[in-house]
Chain A
């Protein structure tokens, strides 16, 4: 079983709604990630948090707002999304020791988002 937990597993929201995706890990990892995956495509990196600070934002539209309240939690706040934002959103975490880019990234089960 994955040690990265995401909620909810499924979410349907309207274009005017505000919702949040939540992610939690208890592996002591200090790097956390959000990826977006469209059908039949590989995951695409959205955001990276290192030591609870946003370190990478891959030019993601402002309707996606990440938040890292503490070292175990990662949120993705959603507002005024478009139907093309419908996708699988994957949270992940990894250690930050040594050559951190070589540390294994562990993924959660994902949140399936549908924007109507």
Chain B
């Protein structure tokens, strides 16, 4: 069975600090996909990144970066120079590759990030 663990329930930092959100996953599949979504108070889940299990390259997009390590089954997300607009709940999610059709996502419990001005 697949599982995603986000151990940090809530993180509060002061604006301009760097912050890392942790994500640890479990899966028996050798092919799988990892995602990060951002959910502001309005409710919409905003897609941030998708990473395939066979691609361990880290990625940087502006102030956002992601560190994927298969050896530790982790897919951590770092925000550099945080801003108040980054305040939201962030979800890490997993989709296994063995399914023949669309099968949805397994989400972690989410990390509520609070950026204080």
Q: How far is the CB of A95 from chain B (nearest CB, A)?
A: 9
Instruction: Tell me which residues across on chain A come within 8 A of B33, comparing CB atoms.
Output: 101-102
Stretch at the interface among A19-27, A72-80, A105-113: A105-113
Contact status A101-B50, CB under 8 Å: no
Question: Whole-angstrom distance between the alpha carbons of A96 and B104 in the complex?
Answer: 12
Known: A102-B33, A102-B52, A107-B44. A56 touches B97 (CB 8 A): no
- State which size class the interface on A falls in: 20 to 34
Given known contacts A106-B47, A109-B42, is B97 in contact with A99 (CB within 8 Å)?
yes
Of B98, B99, B101, chain A has the most CB atoms within 10 Å of the CB of B101
A69 within 8 A of B: no
B11-49, CB < 8 A from A: 31, 33, 35, 37, 42-47
Q: Which of B50-90 contact A (CB under 8 A)?
A: 50, 52
CA distance A50 to B102 in the complex (A): 7
Per-residue contact bits, chain B 96-117, to A (CB 8 Å; 1 contact, 0 not)? 1111111111011110000000
**Number of A-B residue pairs with CB-CB distance less than 8 Å in the complex they form:** 81
B31 and A99 within 8 A (CB):
yes
Q: Are A101 and B43 in contact (CB under 8 A)?
A: no
Q: Considering the complex, give the chain A residue whose CB is closest to the CB of B92.
A: A42
A100 touches B44 (CB 8 A): no
Kindly list chain B residues whose C-beta atoms are within 8 Å of the C-beta of A43: 45, 91, 105, 107
Main secondary structure of the interface of B (DSSP, over half): loop
- Let me know if B110 and A42 touch, CB within 8 A: yes
Q: Name B4's closest neighbour in chain A (CB-CB).
A: A42
Cβ contact within 8 Å between B45 and A107: yes
Q: A42-B91, A99-B31, A99-B97 in contact; A105/B43 too (CB < 8 A)?
A: no
Would B95 and A55 count as touching, CB distance under 8 A? Answer: no
CA distance A43 to B102 in the complex (A): 16
Give 9 A-B pairs besides A100-B102, A101-B102 with Cβ atoms closer than 8 angstroms: A33-B104, A42-B108, A42-B110, A43-B107, A55-B101, A99-B31, A101-B95, A101-B99, A107-B45
Q: Which residues of B contact A (CB under 8 A)?
A: 31, 33, 35, 37, 42-47, 50, 52, 91, 95-105, 107-110
